[in-house]
């Protein structure tokens, strides 16, 4: 049974292809998390030190948040964008930072 992320990504591609049958569709994705009031770019990692032995570890880059011009929503600035060609590409990008 496919998970909710896989089904959502497949739905996005199916809708895009169905609406634009005679066109090539280019999708770009970015992924972020909000954790402890910090916004982290999940596709852009930075090296930092952590723990007693100060070993370098990779962690998501923190990003700044701004408001849209009309003030109705927020915008995460400078998120990394990745071009994807399939739902599998999207999943691969999401899970890459987890490993």
The per-residue pLDDT for range 30-79, each reduced to its tens digit, is 888 888 888 888 888 766 656 566 665 666 667 777 777 787 887 888 88
How big is the chain by its Cα radius of gyration, in Å? 17
pLDDT of residue 54: 64
Same domain as 91, residue 65 = no
Same domain as 69, residue 44 = yes
d(CA 20, CA 69): 30
Provide the domain count of the chain.
2
pLDDT-derived band at 19, boundaries 50, 70, 90: confident
pLDDT of residue 10: 93
pLDDT-derived band at 8, boundaries 50, 70, 90: very high
Same domain as 74, residue 51 = yes
Same domain as 71, residue 56 = yes
Query: Domain residues for 25?
Result: 1-30+81-99
In the predicted model, what is the mean pLDDT of residues 3-23? 86
Same domain as 47, residue 17 = no
Cα separations in angstroms, 44 against 60, 83, 91: 6, 14, 15
Same domain as 64, residue 52 = yes
Same domain as 24, residue 12 = yes
């Amino acid at each position: 049974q496919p998970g909710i992320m896989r089904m959502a990504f497949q739905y996005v591609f199916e809708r895009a292809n169905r609406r634009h049958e005679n066109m090539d569709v280019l999708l770009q994705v970015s992924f972020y998390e909000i954790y402890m009031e910090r916004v982290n770019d999940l596709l852009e990692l930075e090296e930092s030190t952590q723990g007693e032995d100060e070993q370098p570890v990779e962690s998501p880059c923190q990003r700044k948040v701004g408001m849209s011009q009309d003030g109705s929503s927020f915008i995460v600035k400078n998120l990394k964008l990745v071009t994807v060609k399939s739902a599998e590409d999207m999943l691969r990008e999401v899970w890459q930072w987890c490993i």
